[in-house]
């Protein structure tokens, strides 16, 4: 895999403290879509970095993180996501002035 790929990252974390930590990490890597679902566009290096950080936090006997590739960033699979019910709104991208 070269270039950037889009991934659907879902998690089930049993401990509230670890849950908050996983959520904060994923916010730095992608767009929060639903309660425990993120869309992340990652290079190979960023994917490894994300997986390493999550691996250090989760409890391997209790927690689970799923990382599903959707294909190259901007590709057909990324735009073919369908919803039933409430429409999936694109993530708001704006600059923050401090």
* pTM listed for this prediction: 0.80
Query: What's the rounded Cα separation, in Å, for the pair 3 and 19?
Result: 30
Question: How much is the pLDDT for 50?
Answer: 97
Mean pLDDT of all residues in the chain? 86
Binning pLDDT at 50, 70 and 90, where does residue 53 land?
Answer: very high
b or e along 8-24 (b: 16 or more beta carbons within 10 Å of the residue's beta carbon)?
bbebebeeeebbebbee
Confidence label for 74 from pLDDT (cuts 50, 70 and 90): confident
What pLDDT, on a 0 to 100 scale, did the predictor assign at position 1? 45
Highest mean pLDDT of the ranges 31-35, 45-49, 82-86: 45-49
């Amino acid at each position: 895999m070269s270039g950037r790929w889009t991934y659907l990252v879902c998690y089930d974390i049993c401990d509230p403290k670890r849950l908050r930590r996983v959520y904060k990490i994923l916010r730095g890597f992608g767009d929060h879509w639903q309660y425990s679902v993120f869309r992340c566009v990652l290079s190979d290096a960023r994917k490894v970095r994300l997986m390493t950080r999550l691996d250090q936090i989760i409890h391997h006997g209790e927690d689970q993180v799923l990382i599903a590739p959707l294909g190259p960033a901007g590709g057909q699979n990324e735009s073919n996501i369908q919803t039933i019910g409430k429409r999936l709104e694109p993530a708001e991208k704006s600059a923050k002035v401090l």
